[in-house]
Structure 1
Amino acid sequence: DLIDYISKNQFEYDLIILIGYLYYPVVMSIPLLKIPFVIVPTFHAEPPFRLPIYKQIYLNHYIYSFNAPEELAVYESYTNQRAKDYFLIGTYVEDHFNSNQDFISNSNTIQLLTIGRIEPAKGYPELFQDYHEWKNLSHRTDVNLKCLGSVFSMDISKEKEILFSGYVSEGEKISEIQKSYLLINPSAYESFSISIMESWLQEKPVLVNANSSVMKGHCIRSQGGLYYSDKVSFQRMLEYLLENENLKVRLGKNGRKYVLANFSKEVIRTKLNQMVNKLLG
């Protein structure tokens, strides 16, 4: 019904924005559109993007809005097409920073944090294994790992050394970020990663999976975090961040500057206005 509605009523609108490359309504609507439209695809290097239908649908003469330069690179490498007309915009992230408060709730415990759905596709089995091996090697009892988010398709009953909070409110999430030492994002499939932006806004460094070219690119451009590609580099990068408090502080401050410069409300509004003006001009 949605596709029929778009086909029949599209001329009542000036512009259509299609979000999410993966989904049926987006894929099936594109060939029907005769008015200006822009695709916000959130492409990432995941197996579904290799299905032939996506290469057939996402042609390079369409207009795209990418979240990061690495997303553009994924599009061009997966489809063997060079994008002709596109925007690099990203996503606005709410700033809840308060420099006048002390958020360290327990100075004897260092909290590592993850945010988001806890499932195999997000790299959690590998993270848990790497974390347990690091704990066994380091013998650190002052560090814990807390995971915020709902659990999908995973058995976590044996993960005794890891704290699972389940789904939490926005306020609780921000509070947990503020109490944490750093954020870990183990996912290899990201088109932006709001969680690392939220952590940077609280001046917290991040440690991310280098197989996500988008997050690795954010870390390089911002100088706000480090990245790992296997269990050895995970252990060494984590140790390095834990042993260098000054570096941790500097990375966090760099990350906040990066988010404010590129993804504040004002910056995103300006980019969106420029995009709409060009599409309707």
Structure 2
Amino acid sequence: MSRRRVAFVIHRYGRGGAEYLCQVAAERLAQRHDVTVLTTCAIDHETWANALPAGESVENGVRIRRFPTKHARSPDFNAMLGHVLSGHATVADERAWLRAQGPHSPELLDEIARTKDTFDTMFFVTYLYEPTAIGLQLAPERAVLIPTAHDEPPIRASVFRELFRAPRHIMFLTPAERRFVHQLFGNHDIPSTIASMGLEPVPDVSGDEFRARHGIAGHLLVYLGRVEGAKGCEELVEWMRAYPRSGEVTLALVGQNVMRTRSAPPILPLGIVSDREKHESLRAATVFIMPSAYESLSIATLEAWQHGVPVLVNQGSEVLVDHVRASKGGLYFRGKVDLAAALDTLLDDPSLRHRMGLNGQRYVAANYTWERVDAAYDRVIEEVAAGRQRPRSPVPRGEG
């Protein structure tokens, strides 16, 4: 296998689900390829403020080039999206919305255009933001799109129709994501692969220590991720406060507390914690819950299964429902009444929880190994690098 020059383009690096996926993929590829990440100086997706210095650094074998954002996220970007989806927006309107949403970094886009010929393959991660939506179309013959797509209003903007027709290859995280994108964009002719990520073995941690540290008795329900309305957390907090058995349960919210939820039984917002404490919370959990309807993989759900914890997931997410059906590792719910009934079922049946937790463990061990993912990345890199000048060939419509 040749050592290739590979780039990853992403709106921010090493934070959150898609950003973490990009980081671990880049670091693994750097063991056998020359890998560069092109990204912004931003950390906070609400403001896109320049929190990190611009310039080049090397982290874990990966060369990282960061470029400043030009302005913060516009407060009226959601209103602009309404116009974009109305059917009356011009191309200029849609590009203005992308800039307003952020991150807007003209220097990053210029770098993509300037250096594209120095890379054999370029991975563009997450369809939603300007570095991918505009940046990929500056280098389509080298481009692999990792869209992390799910059914949400912005994906229907016409600017994304161009994006999903442009790359040489698309890497999907799940079969559900591929079905959704093919149905929406009709781009079955573009070669595609399903390859998400492998999961490292979980550390040896104690759930008892986590419970003692936070004074938790009784059942523990854990959520991992940004605590925000877009992730379904607003409804989850409301429903758990109204849950008839709330005195028996603590809901630990582990992740950036965007909603500024206050600590009051049964709600325990912990904010951002160390990786070790994250795993301690999962080891301590009775049930893991993912209330988001907008998931393209849900690393947190897979990590919960690694700890043998059954899951409750939002039925509105086809990806999560696919996971649960394939694994038999949990239940799914739609709405407040459904959630209460499903939670009652799990809390009242320890043997069911145990079986579902083991099923989830087996599912992750069988499907989320780095050997599979590494081989898929290497194959795609070689195909794109070797075939940039050849016309695309149709591929079957199946899920293979």
Decide: shared fold, TM above 0.5.
yes
Aligned residue for 2:207?
103
Identity %, equivalent residues: 29
Give the conservation status (yes or no) of the 8 Å contact 2:168–2:384. Answer: no
CA–CA distance in 2 between the matches of 1:15 and 1:206? 37
Aligned residue for 2:350?
245
Q: CA deviation at 1:161?
A: 2.5
Query: Pairwise mapping of residues 11-90 of structure 1 onto structure 2 (< 5 A)?
Result: 11-33=117-139, 35-59=141-165, 62-82=168-188, 84-90=190-196
SS at match of 1:92: coil
Out of 245, 268, 277, the position equivalent to 2:373 is 268
CA–CA distance in 2 between the matches of 1:65 and 1:22? 15
CA–CA distance in 1 between the matches of 2:188 and 2:340? 38
Q: CA deviation at 1:265?
A: 2.3
CA–CA distance in 2 between the matches of 1:35 and 1:278? 12
Query: Pairwise mapping of residues 172-191 of structure 1 onto structure 2 (< 5 A)?
Result: 172-191=277-296
Structure 1 runs of 4+ off > 6 angstroms?
none
CA–CA distance in 1 between the matches of 2:329 and 2:345? 14
Give the conservation status (yes or no) of the 8 Å contact 2:146–2:170. Answer: yes
Out of 271, 283, 288, the position equivalent to 1:166 is 271
Q: Deviations over 1:237-267 (max 9, x none)?
A: 1111111111111111111111121112222
Which amino acid counterpart does residue 212 of structure 1 have in structure 2?
Answer: S
CA–CA distance in 2 between the matches of 1:57 and 1:34? 9
CA–CA distance in 2 between the matches of 1:34 and 1:108? 55
Which amino acid counterpart does residue 112 of structure 1 have in structure 2?
Answer: L
Does residue 112 (structure 1) correspond to residue 221 (structure 2)? The answer is yes
Which amino acid counterpart does residue 376 of structure 2 have in structure 1?
Answer: K
Q: CA deviation at 1:158?
A: 7.7
Q: CA deviation at 1:80?
A: 4.3
Out of 235, 241, 246, the position equivalent to 1:126 is 235
Which amino acid counterpart does residue 278 of structure 2 have in structure 1?
Answer: K
Does residue 207 (structure 1) correspond to residue 312 (structure 2)? The answer is yes
Which amino acid counterpart does residue 233 of structure 2 have in structure 1?
Answer: Y
Which amino acid counterpart does residue 218 of structure 2 have in structure 1?
Answer: T
Aligned residue for 2:333?
228
Q: CA deviation at 1:7?
A: 1.8
Give the conservation status (yes or no) of the 8 Å contact 1:60–1:83. Answer: no
Which amino acid counterpart does residue 129 of structure 2 have in structure 1?
Answer: Y
Query: Pairwise mapping of residues 118-157 of structure 1 onto structure 2 (< 5 A)?
Result: 118-134=227-243, 136=244, 138=245, 141-152=247-258, 154-157=259-262
Give the conservation status (yes or no) of the 8 Å contact 1:122–1:189. Answer: yes
Which amino acid counterpart does residue 357 of structure 2 have in structure 1?
Answer: G
Q: Which runs of 5+ in 2 are unaligned?
A: 1-106, 387-400
Which amino acid counterpart does residue 253 of structure 2 have in structure 1?
Answer: C
Q: TM-score, with normalisation over the residues of structure 1?
A: 0.90
Q: Deviations over 1:175-199 (max 9, x none)?
A: 1110111110101111110100111
Q: CA deviation at 1:37?
A: 2.1
CA RMSD between the two structures: 2.1
CA–CA distance in 1 between the matches of 2:266 and 2:136? 48
Aligned residue for 2:48?
none
Q: CA deviation at 1:34?
A: 5.5
What is the count of residue pairs matched by the alignment?
275
Q: TM-score, with normalisation over the residues of structure 2?
A: 0.64
